[in-house]
Amino acid sequence: EAGVAQSPRYKIIEKRQSVAFWCNPISGHATLYWYQQILGQGPKLLIQFQNNGVVDDSQLPKDRFSAERLKGVDSTLKIQPAKLEDSAVYLCASSPPGVHQPQHFGDGTRLSIL
Amino acid sequence: DQQVKQNSPSLSVQEGRISILNCDYTNSMFDYFLWYKKYPAEGPTFLISISSIKDKNEDGRFTVFLNKSAKHLSLHIVPSQPGDSAVYFCAASGQGGSEKLVFGKGTKLTVNP
């Protein structure tokens, strides 16, 4: 079974620039999550999709972050404009249908803001 | 306010001995708990989980114990192997019926040969 695919693996940009991350979940996984992991912390949920609908985006900084999941498969997370505190690893995860299913993570995109 | 706490940033054990990683939580609404293992430059890998209706779940060398009254869970690895050296994250979900995972800060386990 292919895992969660993310790209790019690394990205370096200057503050106030924009950046986008892409995620392809495991086939058949209806639920997709984006997490932000700052160095020394555990991952923090930014947004959760069920198919192509948003379930939870309460911790997404909506003035600069946006995400979409067209057609209920791939997803894109965008930051515009980036701030220094956005330096982190952005992780995508997916889970199969059903209650209390473990989430499976991709390897993440490491974002550095100069 | 940290709802899931892993108070030991690091742990070092000898190969073949038991590793015990601890986790405390504050939110009584959590009803599903998971442990993830993370190697450098990789995403977290699911290890083992436990539902709040159980107090123990075992999978090979890994056992998770849940003490709901104390809001405490632990991961036991027996016997520990050098390949187990990684950062271990405790996570919880179920708050308000959500599948959202709330993570601790992680414990770095080093297993010495």
The answer to whether the Cβ–Cβ distance between A42 and B46 falls below 8 Å is no
Most A CBs within 10 A among B64, B99, B103, hence the mutation to make, goes to B99
Rounded mean pLDDT, B85-101? 86
The CA–CA distances, whole Å, from A2 to A73, A105, A106 equal 14, 12, 10
Shortest alpha-carbon distance between residue A82 and chain B (Å): 22
The answer to whether the Cβ–Cβ distance between A100 and B32 falls below 8 Å is yes
pLDDT in tens, chain A (114 residues): 789 999 999 999 999 999 999 999 999 999 999 999 999 999 999 999 998 899 999 999 999 999 999 888 999 999 999 999 999 999 999 998 888 889 999 999 999 999
Task: State whether residue B104 sits within 8 Å of chain A by CB.
Answer: yes
Helices (DSSP H) in B38-108: which residue ranges?
Answer: none
Residues B6-39 have pLDDT tens digits of: 999 999 999 999 999 999 999 998 999 999 999 9
Residue B62 has pLDDT above 90, yes or no: yes
Residues in chain B with CB shorter than 8 Å from the CB of A112 are none
Residues in chain A with CB shorter than 8 Å from the CB of B91 are 42
Facing B49 at nearest CB: one of A56, A91, A102: A102
DSSP code string of A11-65: EEE-TT--EEEEEE--TT--EEEEEEE-TTS--EEEEEEETTEEEE-TTS-TTTE
